[in-house]
Amino acid sequence: MPTVFAYVGSPHGNRSNTYALTKMMLDRLAEKDNAIRYEIFTPAETTIRYCKGCWTCMSKGLCPQDQHDDMAMLKERMEDASFIVLGSPVYTINVSAQMKTFFDRLPAWLHTMRLAGKAGVTVATTAGNGLPEVQNYLGMMMTSLGVKTVGTLGAHGSLPGHLYDPDGARRDAHALADEVYPYVTGERVVTTDEYLEEVFKIMKQKIAIGGGSVLAGDLEYWTRAGYLDCTCFGDVLAKKLGSSGEMNVSAQVREEGRRT
C-alpha cells in the first residue's frame, strides 16, 4: 500500500496555510488512488526536543532524545513511507524554528542519506518574500536525506487559513499531485541527479576520512549498507532498489537499537 509521510513545521498545525496546501495535494493523490494513505504531522500534535549537540547520533547511531519525545516515531514513519513531503511557512526568510528543530535532530540521517531510494516534494507558504529561499533550503535537506526532490509547491497567504488565491493554490496542488503520482505508487523508479551525486561525494569523503570515534555510528551504517563500495549515488540506488530480498539496512539498525 503506497504511504505518504508529511511533516509541516508550522506552529499553527492544521490551521496553517502550509498544512492546507499540503493537504490539497495529498487529497488529490488519494482521489486518484484510494489505496494511497497519508499522514501529516505538525508541531501541534508532536513533541520534538532540541538537539543537545552531544554527537551521540553520529558516534553511536542513536539519539538519546528519541526516548523522550516523538522523533523515534517520526523516523519510523519516514522509513516506512513510500513518499516524503516536507513543508514550512516562511519565517524571516527561513524555515520556522519548529522545522529547523526537526532537521537538527537528523544529523546522522543527513550524513548517511538514510532515506535513499525515496522521492519527495517540498511545500512552502509566505505572506510576502522568502519563498525561493525556503524552497531551496527544504530541497537541500531533502537531498541530504537521500530523497530525490521531484517537485515543489508554493503559495502566498497571510493569517492561518487565508491563502490569497485558494483556487489557484488548489490547481497547482492538483497539478503537482498528478505529476508525482507515479513516484508515489512506484510506477516510476527514482533515479539519481547532480544534487544527490554531489551530496554523496561529499559525505563519502567525510565518512572515509573522519569516520573515527566521533563518526563511528555513521561509518558503521555506511559499512553495513555497502555504501563505501559505491562509486556514485547511482550505485546506492541500485543497492537499495535492486535488493528487495535483503533486509532493509535502516530497519535492521532500528531493530538493533530497540534491543539495546
Give the start-to-end residue ranges of the domains of the chain: 3-185, 194-259
Cα distances from 79 to residues 113, 153, 236, in angstroms, run 12, 23, 16
How much is the pLDDT for 211?
64
**250-to-11, 89, 230 alpha-carbon distances in Å:** 30, 30, 17
pLDDT band for 178, please (50, 70, 90 cuts): very high
Look at residues 148, 138, 143, 154 and name the one whose alpha carbon lies nearest to residue 182: 148
Query: What pLDDT score was predicted for residue 257?
Result: 44
Mean pLDDT of the 245-252 span:
38
Does the pLDDT value for residue 244 go beyond 50? no
> If you average pLDDT over each of 115-119, 206-210, 238-242, which comes out highest?
115-119
Q: Report d(CA 254, CA 187) in Å as an integer.
A: 28
Q: Give pairs for 179-182: CB < 8 Å, separation 24+.
A: 179/150, 179/151, 180/29, 180/83, 180/119, 180/121, 180/150, 180/151, 181/29, 181/32, 181/33
Cα separation, 120 vs 5, in Å, equals: 9
- Structure pTM? 0.91
Q: Are 141 and 110 in contact (CB under 8 A)?
A: yes
Q: Considering the domain 3-185 in this protein, what is its CATH number? A: 3.40.50.360
List the grid coordinates of 3.
504511504
Which pLDDT band holds residue 125 (cuts at 50, 70, 90)?
very high
Q: What single-letter amino acid sits at 113? A: M
Average pLDDT on 50-69 reads 95
On the question of pLDDT at 89 being above 90, the answer is yes
- Is the pLDDT assigned to residue 252 strictly greater than 50? no
pLDDT, residue 243, reads 53
Express as a percent the part of the chain with pLDDT over 70.
92
